[in-house]
Structure 1
Amino acid sequence: VNLILVGFLWGATNPLIKKGSIGIENVKENTVYKQGFMEVKFLLKNWKYIVPFLLNQSGSLLYFLTLQNSDISLAVPVANALSFVFTAVVGRFLGEQIHHKGTYYGIVLTTLGITLCFLDKILSKNTST
């Protein structure tokens, strides 16, 4: 369950972070240092960027805590794959266009792969006891 939440926090916030950073390309300064400072300032003052960013980072904290009690061979692919799925789904709900129908195939195949990983772990655990 925690890995699903991690995938959601990482994936669902990606399109929101992207939307929240709209306008950063309009920040212009003379030096690279001042440019970087003003871009960071722009983002920090923008709640539409900060809120999803903090939620995304809370997903990283939860991932770190979850790894202590999880099989890493399952945790890493599940969290990363679900992140992709949630990014695509939430992005679509927010009006982003999915340019390739292969994205939908990827979502289905990712979901099937995660299901197979879980089934393998469950069946392996049942046969070893």
Structure 2
Amino acid sequence: MFEIGALVTVALLWGCTNPILKRNSTKIVEIKSTSKIQKFYLEVKYLFTNLDYMIPFIVNQLGSVIYFIALQNIDISLALPVSNSLTFVFTAIMGWILGEDLPKRNVSLGILLIFIGTALCSYAKQPYSN
């Protein structure tokens, strides 16, 4: 059960930070330069000096560290679908909280199906106790 909690935590960290990273990196397109190398340097500098971007980025990477650690004890056939599908769910919810459009009916149905599928995958991978 700890493993499933770790995967849900990973999905939560990834999903909740994705819309924030997107929102806080939009001004990167305004960076102009005559050289591609200088433009790349200015973009990297912008991202690394922008705390509104870096804090969610670090939280996102913390999710990656937890995922890496969790993979030592979890079957990849469970870890991959649970973490990635729930990331989509948390991204949609967080986007809505941040003011993006409310998920349409098909997206809401997809979220429900993801929850059902995740529960079934998790249940199927649980060891049976006799």
- TM above 0.5, yes or no, is yes
Question: Which of 17, 20, 26 is matched with 2:21 structurally?
Answer: 17
**Secondary structure class of the residue paired with 2:109:** helix
Q: How does 1:1-129 map to 2 (within 5 A)?
A: 1-98=5-102, 100-122=104-126, 125-126=127-128, 129=130
**Secondary structure class of the residue paired with 2:45:** helix
**Secondary structure class of the residue paired with 1:16:** helix
CA RMSD between the two structures: 1.4
Deviation of 1:58 (Å): 0.7
5+ residue gaps in structure 2? none
Deviation of 1:22 (Å): 2.1
Stretches of 4+ aligned residues off by more than 2 angstroms: 98-101
2: CA distance, partners of 1:28 / 1:100:
37
1: CA distance, partners of 2:104 / 2:38:
39
Residues 71-95 of structure 1, C-alpha deviation per residue, up to 9 Å, x if partnerless?
2111111011111010000010000
Paired residues of 1:28 and 1:35 also in contact (CA < 8 A) = yes
TM-score between the two structures when normalised by the length of structure 2: 0.91
5+ residue gaps in structure 1? none
1: CA distance, partners of 2:100 / 2:44:
25
Give me the identity figure in percent.
43
